[in-house]
Amino acid sequence: MSLLRDRLTEKKLVITAEVSPPKGAGIKKLREHIQLISPHVTAINITDCQRSVVRMASWAACKIIMDLGAEPVLQVTCRDRNSIALQADLMGASALGIQNVLCLTGDPVKVGDSPDSRSVFEYESIKLLQTASNLQRGRDAQNLKMNAPTRFVLGSVVNPTARGGLGQLERMKKKIAAGAIFFQTQANYDIEDFCSFLRLTQDVDTSILAGILVLHSPDIAHFINENIPGIQLPKSVIKRLENASDPEKEGIEIAIESMLQLKDHCAGFHVMTIRREPLIPLVVKGFYERISI
């Protein structure tokens, strides 16, 4: 049984974390990160060649998570696979016991380390959700019968920084109709704008995990502004990091403050870093300490 599904159903606070699989076959650091993070979160997302950078298959890293006694969320993107391969991976993931799947369209290959590779994009996230929902009913994309259905908690993503939010809201509704029962958001450091978007979703029948991207230096803040689509850091946040005697500690504090301001408007949080996974437990513990006071 999926702990993520249970907590969402029971309206209990959910915190997930995001971990990138290794670029290679070595798993020592991945195991260390999982063991460090898993006691503090409901589930751990494993990215699927995020930003089009070649890494270990997401389903393989999810199996490692399960072997360590934790719960994974398998990310599946449409960029690299046609409909046959997508369905085959989903069937295999379910057979392995992976219970949670996040369906994404995927970043373009030109932003990654294999810019000459060919994109597929036969599907996008809504079509992937529809196909995954068919698999849940024991039918493939051609409506051919399977020997057993898949059993997944299906989720997707939404960008709260999109202007006005209404287009994202309509796309969310289409994803819900396609089978998504939860959403993880992109990070948004304009908390007032973030809350405004979350208020727009109050009448939508779903659970939203607000994205929290932990900053650890002014350089990483500038990197995010320049390289990650959909995120624009306010000057005030960058100044806080630049003026801090300990930027990493300040980044943790910014993340906790954001969570405290957003907690009444969402079902929980999805905590991310850029190559600083050990910061995730510090943020989660700091948040729980504040709300228990």
Domains identified in the chain and CATH numbers: 3-286 (3.20.20.220)
Tens-digit pLDDT profile for residues 145-187: 999 999 999 999 999 886 566 788 999 999 999 999 999 999 9
Section 81-92 average pLDDT: 98
C-alpha–C-alpha distance, residues 12 and 41, integer Å? 12
pLDDT beyond 90 at 225: no
Question: What's the pLDDT at 97?
Answer: 97
List C-alpha distances in Å: 180 to 109, 175, 194, 254, 262.
26, 6, 21, 30, 22
- Provide the pLDDT confidence category of residue 228 given band limits of 50, 70 and 90: confident
pLDDT computed for residue 292 by the predictor: 83
Determine the pLDDT at residue 101.
98
- Residue 162: its pLDDT value, please? 67
pLDDT band at 1 (very low <50, low <70, confident <90, very high): confident
pLDDT at 10 (0 to 100): 96
**CA-to-CA distance for 2 and 100, rounded, in angstroms?**
7
- Contact criterion met (CB below 8 Å) for 58 and 21: yes
254 membership: H or E segment, kind and range: helix 247-262
Please give the structure tokens belonging to residue 139.
């039918």
Taking residues 195-212, report their average pLDDT. Answer: 93
The predicted pLDDT at position 232 comes to 80
> Which pair of tokens denotes residue 60?
């393989």
State the DSSP code for 20.
P
Predicted confidence (pLDDT) at residue 233 exceeds the cutoff of 80: yes
Give percent of the chain with pLDDT exceeding 70: 98
